[in-house]
Chains A and B, each alone.
Chain A
């Protein structure tokens, strides 16, 4: 053991300026990424504000029993998986389409213009997206609501009908992120050796054939990396997006409430820190399992797609 310590000491001494420069970064990493892990401990405790995380008494599995007895756990887990699956499928799918089609545009200025356009939604916050959504879907004033009224004579109240929200959220996700993923995939498309296309042209291939037989197989790896990475996180809902867009509109929880928003509300609105923590412990447990599973799958089919 002292030998190890001595070698660590020697390493720190020889590279002391480098480690000194890394110190602030390490500090931020430790404080903001690793210290919050102590919150998981609360899942097994009866948290009270006065006693703090360490001082509160242990409560066994009471918090878990309470969470599973509410029967909310199943719908929110299913919502999380279902929404994430829709996001991955349609978000990535459309991004691949965009990347391939943008690769067909020969005029540089046009390509640049189109790419800038579809990439733009990535740059606005969920708060702004929420306002844009409101402009389209508001009950009497929204553009889409007005159009539906004019065409069918019916007023649709989007903000109180949970059934519409899976497609709406999927569309919003595609709108905001397909440009972002397309940028990644375009990077993969441009790194394809042009010789493939040249020989395909000589062999008389059409553009569609080239897209299907050359472009798609050659960007397969990048797409797989992104899909596997996203699937590994299938138990983690995007709080920024879902809480940002849905907020506290309880009428829509049936289809839009995910583990993260549920845990957030448990913490903020009912102040049950311990139960909120129990929920995130369950989530982290399932999350770690899926990550390990998908990492294992990735190692098998595409070693470059593995997470670690």
Chain B
């Protein structure tokens, strides 16, 4: 009797092995193809940024380039212009992430606190903008003619400070914490500020890191705000730098102009893309798990 499940399993394994093997092969093929398709564009960009500018413009993008040179990198990093844009991206990302994380954590704490009477109404107000847009014109005029912060870094930072998605990641974490801890602190005479900063927040390292990463990614990858509000060259983030060169290239492609118009910028362009995604690729293996966690919590519970 004891051995019967094993017996069943083995018999079935033999009987269905052909079908099973086909299924597993198909699985593996689909996954392998998706994996390659997802990574191929990254590979293509990185490898071709190392191709000499002349070969790139003559031969186009290559899967296996034969010639390599670091001239593109030497040119872009050597002329130093890109550092200004890099600095803008870094400043916006660092300041924005710090501000957004603190504001969001404090706000979410209130939404999650059982003693706050209006927490559900406020949560609803936070949730509404997530499903309904608020209109581009109103937003544009708000920045340009009400707040007058266009052409400053504030225009790149402030609009993204409170993300409902990230707020709900924090809310769902705070709701999961045992309320007894807060109560114990109250009994010891602590006020709410103390409870939050000294008791609750220190226990929330993982969700805090998660929303920090979401904010950092959002700030780093944003080009929309810069496209709308930044005209001064020295305030343009990296992403908009890529956009400007691309638009010129596309124009060339549309008008079918000769290759030499496209040639020089193309390598510069690829190098710029590489140094833009470089930091993301470097930290990706270490931070990926936080994103996975955050999405699983935020998307389903939010």
Give the B-binding residues of A (Cβ under 8 A): 11, 14-15, 17-22, 24-26, 28-29, 31-40, 42, 49, 52-53, 97-98, 101-102, 104-105, 113-121, 123-136, 138-143, 145-146, 157, 159-160, 175, 178-180, 183-184, 187-188, 201-202, 204, 206-208, 222, 225-226, 229, 232-233, 236, 239-240, 243-244, 247-249, 251, 260, 263-264, 267-268, 273, 276-277, 280-281, 283-284, 287-288, 291, 307-308
Contact = CB atoms under 8 A, between A and B. Distances in A.
B288 A267 contact: no
Tell me whether chain B's interface is mostly helix, strand or loop, or mixed: helix
A18 B140 CA distance: 32
B296 A131 contact: no
B137 A42 contact: yes
B201 to A, nearest CB: 11
A159 B108 CA distance: 45
Given A36-B138, A202-B8, A287 B107 contact: no
Contacts of B206: none
B78 interface: no
Given A19-B110, A98-B34, A307 B42 contact: no
B145 A49 contact: yes
A251 B250 CA distance: 11
B127 interface: yes
A247 B250 contact: yes
Contacts of B87: none
Interface in B213-255: 217, 220-224, 228, 239-240, 242-243, 246-247, 249-250, 253-254
B261 interface: no
A39 B139 contact: yes
A268 B19 CA distance: 59
Interface string B46-76: 0010000000110111110000000000000
Contacts of B62: 143
B106 A32 contact: no
